[in-house]
Amino acid sequence: MSRAAVFRRDGWICQLCGGPIDRALRYPNPLSKSIDHRVPLSHGPGTPGHVFENCQAAHFGCNASKGNRV
């Protein structure tokens, strides 16, 4: 799984808020890019894990606000 493939698949749109992700912004800017796990890795064994289907494009701030919720 490549991070670039996730952003391409999601069209550089945050899957949490629906806003565009600016490729030029860098961490720690809250609007910078990040990868969110739909089912968080912290939910333990038996979760989908770090696979393409469980990852989605998100703003860093949106992802941080989501925390470990589904």
pLDDT tens column, 4-34: 999 999 999 999 999 999 999 999 999 999 9
pLDDT in tens, 32-49: 999 999 999 999 888 899
Write down the pLDDT at residue 44. 84
Specify the DSSP element, H or E, that contains 9. Answer: helix 3-9
For 49-66, the pLDDT digits (tens) are 989 999 999 999 999 999
Query: Distance (Å, rounded) from C-alpha 23 to C-alpha 49?
Result: 25
Give all strands (DSSP E) within the chain, no chain letters.
Answer: 33-37, 55-59
Q: Are 12 and 21 in contact (CB under 8 A)?
A: yes
pLDDT on residue 46:
81
